Amino acid sequence: MNVFHRTLSHSNILRKPRLAAFAVVTGMWLLSPGAVIAGDFYLRGGIGVDRPGGTAFTDIDCMTTSPAALYGCGAGGDGAPYRSSRGDFGTVPAVEFGFGYPTGRMRLEMLVEYRPRFSFGGRANFLAPERRQSVSMDLSSVSGMVAGYFDFPKQGSAGPGAFIPFVGAGVGIAHTRTREMTMTFPTTTTTVPGGSRAELAWMVTAGVAMEVGERTTLDLGWRYTDLGEVRTGQGAGQVVWRDGSRDPLPLDLAPTRARLAGHGFRISLRYAL
């Protein structure tokens, strides 16, 4: 199966490093004591789930030969360019921690999120659609963002039990680590090395907060998060004939890429210090 050919030149690890660095520095300044306007600092911790949308792994350059492109140029059995698609990362647990400061109706926050395991499941399209060509891979992600929230006026009576709608947005950096990708065909199994990458990341959110105590607030929110590109690694892969009829074929592979973005929900507790 001549599906491994062509190469890629290394690109920058950060697609927009200046913007991400500016966001982080600005957030640190806004949360410093000299930038205090009103209110109390707070800590926030929460859990949630994300549901990334459908995605496809493709070559960065299908014509590269040294190292070789995994998919190569051309059209597969479904008529689309060679790729691994018809897949997504399933439902992903997430843990988050925030350190913030309210300034009137605005809240400024340094936000860290950890997603311990994404599991990609999809199909390659080298062969006819009905033939076996499954693709699987796990990855994890850590992101850090500067976030801003706007709190609308309270709904209901003052004090505990009052609801406060909010909207927010954030920008920062996400670091993803991919593990080995496995591609299973009728008679062979191909392994592709994992890798790691830092990317510009951003999110938008909307939700409602409920005061549950003098210093404690419960936040419930929807979130859309874009963690940028994830990539397989560059380096040694191999093709293995499962019946042992041939020796494994080593491969020197270029990275492939896919977009990682989707919707999620969070529940968290905010405690004013």
**pLDDT for 263:** 96
Range in 23-27, 82-86, 103-107 the model is least confident about:
23-27
Residue 9 in any domain: the answer is no
| Share of residues in the chain with pLDDT > 90 (%) | 73
Residue 143 in any domain: the answer is yes
- Domain total of the chain: 1
Do residues 193 and 232 lie in contact, with contact meaning Cβ atoms separated by under 8 Å? yes
Predicted confidence band of residue 88 (pLDDT cuts 50, 70, 90): confident
**pLDDT for 87:** 82
Predicted confidence band of residue 78 (pLDDT cuts 50, 70, 90): confident
Predicted confidence band of residue 108 (pLDDT cuts 50, 70, 90): very high
pLDDT at 164 over 50: yes
Residue of higher predicted confidence among 129 and 196: 196
Residue 221 in any domain: the answer is yes
**pLDDT for 17:** 47
Residue 120 in any domain: the answer is yes
**pLDDT for 86:** 77
Question: Which residues are registered as beta bridge partners of 107?
Answer: 102, 149
Q: What is the spatial distance between Cα 189 and Cα 134, in angstroms, rounded to a whole number?
A: 10
**pLDDT for 159:** 61
Residue 8 in any domain: the answer is no
Over residues 1-20, the mean pLDDT reads: 39
How confident is the prediction for the chain on average, in pLDDT? 86
Residue 6 in any domain: the answer is no
Residue 248 in any domain: the answer is yes
Predicted confidence band of residue 39 (pLDDT cuts 50, 70, 90): low
Q: What is the spatial distance between Cα 115 and Cα 239, in angstroms, rounded to a whole number?
A: 31
Q: Residue 204: which CATH number? A: 2.40.160.20
12, 107, 202 from 31: Cα distances, Å: 30, 10, 19
Residue 73 in any domain: the answer is yes
- The angle formed by the CA atoms of residues 206, 210 and 211, to the nearest 5 degrees, is 140
Domain that holds residue 241: 17-272
pTM comes to 0.81
